[in-house]
Amino acid sequence: MTTTLSFTHRFQPGSATGAAPLLLLHGTGGDENDLLPLGATLSPGAALLSPRGQVLEHGMPRFFRRLAEGVFDEDDVRRRALELGEFIGEARRHYGIAAPVAVGYSNGANIAAALLLLQPQALAGAVLFRAMVPLNQPPAVKLARTPVLILSGLTDPIVPAANAAKLCNQLIDAGADVTHTTLPTGHQLSQPDIALARDWIAGLPQAMAA
């Protein structure tokens, strides 16, 4: 059932001991239901927390405003990332879960990257599918080897290779433990994306679920 704290969202309790909860962040036009099957595939038995973006673009939910494709309203990015961080805290208290690992696609990956750069304590790690730089001048933060997997598409018409590389370097400079892989695909998810993300999540330390 869809429930509301500060975000409309879906929550599925976990059944696997030691599995880190996943925060599922949809792309433009998605909602709180979109990534639940993906989350269950990536980490069977993990608790799943899936909020709906609160910004509408021509009726399509997003997590922050953009001025054009690939051009973000960075003031809104900052505000919305802080709101999402507050929701994560609410949900952790309400559901009794550990800090989640974000799994974001496109716009959802971008807000997850912004959250890492603005509120590093909110997430235990992140899988970023087709992510771009959300903030050109992020604040100085310490990510203390937070694990991050970035999966880019070689023929992605939306995310330039240089932009994905810049995000990778921003996170490394902040102290994150980043794995960046570029696959021979476009903006959409592929089976290799799913396989790589599943294996990466399975390799996370069990302590992250405590």
Residues with catalytic annotation? 106, 156, 187
Query: Token pair for residue 105?
Result: 């696609």
Handedness of CA 73, 169, 83, 48 (dihedral sign): positive
Query: Token pair for residue 126?
Result: 């992140």
d(Cα 138, Cα 72) in Å, to the nearest integer? Answer: 14
Which residues have a Cβ under 8 Å from the Cβ of 209 and sit 6 or more positions away? Answer: 17, 18, 19, 20, 21, 98
Query: Token pair for residue 197?
Result: 């993300």
Query: Token pair for residue 78?
Result: 């900052």
Q: Tell the residue number behind the tokens 């990510």, with chain if given.
A: 143
d(Cα 20, Cα 204) in Å, to the nearest integer? Answer: 8
